[in-house]
Structure 1
Amino acid sequence: MSTPHPTTGPATHCPVTGTSTTALYGPGLDGDAMPALYEEMRRAHGPVVPVSIAPGIDAWLVVSHRELLRLTREEQDFSHDPRHWSLLREGRVPADSPLLPLVGWRPALLFADGQQHRRMRAAVSDALAGINGHELRRSVRGAAEELIVSFAGHGEADLVADYARRLPMQVITGLLGVDDRTGRELVEAVARTVAASSVSADASRRMGAILLALIEEKRRHRGDDITSALLHHPARLTDEEVLHNLVVMFVAGNQTTVNWIATTLRILLCDPAFRSSLTGGHLSVDDALDLVLWRFPPTQNFPARYATRDMRFGGQDIRTGDMLILGLAAANADPEILPGDGAPVVGNRSHLAFGAGPHTCPAQDPARLITRTAVDTILHRLPDLELAIPESELEWIKSPWSKGLGALPVRFSDPQLPQSPVPPPLASPTAPH
């Protein structure tokens, strides 16, 4: 690539490939500019792009829909196990690197291949499948209305801090069987872990301690929750495997759902024609949700796969042990799969927001139910909701991994609140025994 995008860090030189890499880290990252950066990368390098994800740590970013499908489906060539990562094996990743909480090996389905992955995924999928959809919807609606009541009297709110960030936490911690206070501590630890900053390692340890205490409690007192379901599944997961699969579920589920809710509300507030079509019945909330998954996937880049052999892939010479990152946002915008005008087709769910292949996100159905109910509830209770600042002043969080708004300030004057007291959300929708 000739020059780095101005919103990223400086270009660096990869000693392995001899090429210039684009830095996907640093305070200059800007969510509004990232789509243009991906297209610049695609033009300069094709489907697979040399990048650096931390000082001295290089990787490949896959920005093509076709190549990303191959990356996710061909486990014999692209492993999930970071112990294949050459930089890690060679001791070139510092022990205190903020990347390690994200990509360091754990005994969880996200970092396993083949039979080991299938065993753990069966337990996770069965636990999620056992969630009662009607009870989950009722729980989400109750929690959403409780939050709306808490700020309705002010006539204004930040729908990220006051709604989107709080709602999934309440629901997901309930599903795991965590009480409210512990849930808040867990959310804070998770947020600091995925921030890829100097506090990530300590936050990761705190997150593990909270979940280990939860597992010990559920061993003694089995409940109707996902943690208990994993502990008592025929796959016989160890306590350590349950802990790390809970980490994966919480990290992947919480922030992703926060971003999905907030960005969907942003589109509805900033696109009057789309909102009119929604309220007029021409489009559904699900159409809005899918639009977000195409244009603004809650996770824009996802680590990682590791090459198991030398190969030519996407026009690049990939070496054994190289890290490859799933460029979900870039692959969704691949001109080879989008309609001619660049706009996703309504009802088209061939996007890659949830990944693809054997590791496709197993929680996408409950995540959609939570997001749909959250959006539908606030539109129903605050029908005259409008953005409180110009759209151009909205800012995305600065992260190479997550695609979310920093804030979404709104105002309203005619809240339609429940006539009777809001029922408390259920602590834990039914999971299998």
Structure 2
Amino acid sequence: MPALYERLRAEHGPVAPVLIAPGIPAWLVLGFTELLRVARDERSFSHDPRNWRLLREGRVAADSPIMPTVDWRPALLYTDGRQHRRMRSAVSAALERINGHALRRTVRATAERLISEFAEQGRADLVPHYARKLPLQVVTQLLGLDERSGQQLVQATLGTAAANADSANASGRMTGILTKLIEAQRSGTAGDGFIATLARHPAGLTDDEILHNLVVVFVAANQPTVDWIATTLRILLTDPALGTSVAGGRLTIDDALDQALWRHPPVQNYPARYALRAVEFGGQPIRAGDMLVLGLAGANADPSVRPPDGCPVTGNRSHLAFGAGPHACPSQDLARLITRTAVDTLLHRLPDLELAVPEKDLAWTTSPWAPSLAALPVRL
């Protein structure tokens, strides 16, 4: 993907024409400055997919592979202006109520339990055995689910993300679990947790809005957290200088996390914004209703801002891995705490981890949005 971004940048400049699905054109924003403008300028670029011209004209099939990603829902991710601020105020208030110290203890205890399941075997695959399990198990505890319901939500979420024949059924199961949880917490019979804060916030979110914002904040954010954990572990295992510097205390875990966000952001391409008016942008003639995809990885690699190759990133968080502007990820601090604790706990428990295969043999999933590690086999 990095080589593709540079070819597109060389041929088209900071905004390049692409196809995101068969017959579905869009613009990929690769320039750092251009991406900041798209992310910040709500008067010219909307987050509401109902402004997408191809969709309004009926040129996108209902079963198009792009629809699950961009179909409108009553959540902060798909709204602008006042509606977005109303929903975000409630979500931000609920996130702020999460006790960071308690969350760190929960993450560490969950990590220790997962590590104990494979520590005596001498080998493990850190993607399915660790990175993929940990965030969802933590989230189910944050939501106040009992162990059985939590496991059901974990399985339903994984099934929804699998994009296979059972995904629709899995999505229905996930919705059912969350709907029951919302009903219980709105009625006051399930404590005063995250959902109860959303339900009682002055923003007046409906149950449908609570449901879809939960999906955005926790469920949709799950895979990026999985990828951030796995990618950070990968670069620590494959970059001897970085791994040694972290182990020796010259660099921190946060430095490794930021290295991952600069070089390999968990979401490489983020859909989408929709032009509200015709505009000359990045040297391209953008028409009203055009889709623009935020090329987060490409913008991070913009030569005007990219850290020098081979140079560890210390204290620089001006990357765009979490987006920017009004729609910047509201749970990025939560994700960092989970990821930092997950990586730190694993390295503390198993300091002699080694990659079990050559780096070139690592398996990857394919996705236009977030190509991610399918496996990270290690020897303990």
Q: Same fold (TM over 0.5)?
A: yes
**Alpha-carbon distance between aligned partners in 2 of 1:87 and 1:200, rounded to the nearest angstrom:** 25
2:292 is matched with: 324
Distance change in 2, residues 1:136/1:275 (3 Å): same
Query: Is residue 394–residue 408 contact of structure 1 (8 Å, CA) maintained in 2?
Result: yes
1:109 has 2:76 as partner: yes
TM superposition score normalised by structure 1? 0.84
Equivalent residue pairs, number = 379
Distance change in 2, residues 1:195/1:89 (3 Å): farther
Query: Is residue 185–residue 192 contact of structure 2 (8 Å, CA) maintained in 1?
Result: no
Aligned with 1:65 (options 32, 38, 49): 32
Larger displacement relative to structure 2 (92-101 or 39-48) = 92-101
Aligned with 2:139 (options 147, 172, 177): 172
Query: Is residue 87–residue 205 contact of structure 2 (8 Å, CA) maintained in 1?
Result: yes
List runs of 5+ in structure 2 lacking aligned partners.
Answer: none
Q: Deviations over 1:15-34 (max 9, x none)?
A: xxxxxxxxxxxxxxxxxxx1
Q: Deviations over 1:33-92 (max 9, x none)?
A: x11111111111111111111111111111111100000000010001111011111111
1:80 is matched with: 47
Q: Which structure has more helix as a fraction of its residues? A: 2
1:120 has 2:87 as partner: yes
Aligned with 2:321 (options 353, 365, 368): 353
Distance change in 2, residues 1:58/1:181 (3 Å): farther
**Alpha-carbon distance between aligned partners in 1 of 2:7 and 2:159, rounded to the nearest angstrom:** 31
Give % identity: 66
Q: Which amino acid aligns with 2:141?
A: G
**Alpha-carbon distance between aligned partners in 2 of 1:272 and 1:119, rounded to the nearest angstrom:** 47
Aligned with 1:382 (options 346, 350, 353): 350
After superposition, the CA RMSD in angstroms is 1.7
**Alpha-carbon distance between aligned partners in 2 of 1:87 and 1:197, rounded to the nearest angstrom:** 25
**Alpha-carbon distance between aligned partners in 2 of 1:75 and 1:331, rounded to the nearest angstrom:** 19
1:93 has 2:33 as partner: no
1:147 has 2:102 as partner: no
**Alpha-carbon distance between aligned partners in 1 of 2:370 and 2:55, rounded to the nearest angstrom:** 24
Q: Which runs of 4+ in 1 moved over 6 A?
A: none
Query: Is residue 98–residue 201 contact of structure 1 (8 Å, CA) maintained in 2?
Result: no
Q: Which amino acid aligns with 1:323?
A: M
Distance change in 2, residues 1:287/1:248 (3 Å): same
Q: Deviations over 1:109-154 (max 9, x none)?
A: 0011111111110110111111111100000000000111111111
Q: Which amino acid aligns with 1:226?
A: F
Q: Post-superposition shift, 1:340?
A: 4.9
Q: Which amino acid aligns with 1:74?
A: D
Q: Post-superposition shift, 1:215?
A: 1.1
TM superposition score normalised by structure 2? 0.95
Distance change in 2, residues 1:141/1:343 (3 Å): same
**Alpha-carbon distance between aligned partners in 2 of 1:351 and 1:109, rounded to the nearest angstrom:** 22
Q: Secondary structure at the match of 2:28?
A: strand
1:311 has 2:284 as partner: no
Query: Is residue 255–residue 312 contact of structure 2 (8 Å, CA) maintained in 1?
Result: no
Distance change in 2, residues 1:103/1:190 (3 Å): farther
Q: Which amino acid aligns with 2:341?
A: T
1:290 is matched with: 258
Q: Post-superposition shift, 1:354?
A: 0.2
Q: Which amino acid aligns with 2:300?
A: N
Q: Which amino acid aligns with 1:289?
A: L
Q: Secondary structure at the match of 2:220?
A: helix
**Alpha-carbon distance between aligned partners in 2 of 1:87 and 1:162, rounded to the nearest angstrom:** 41
Larger displacement relative to structure 2 (160-169 or 94-103) = 94-103
The 5 A counterparts of 1:14-413 are 34-195=1-162, 200-220=167-187, 221-341=189-309, 343=311, 345-412=313-380
**Alpha-carbon distance between aligned partners in 2 of 1:129 and 1:209, rounded to the nearest angstrom:** 26
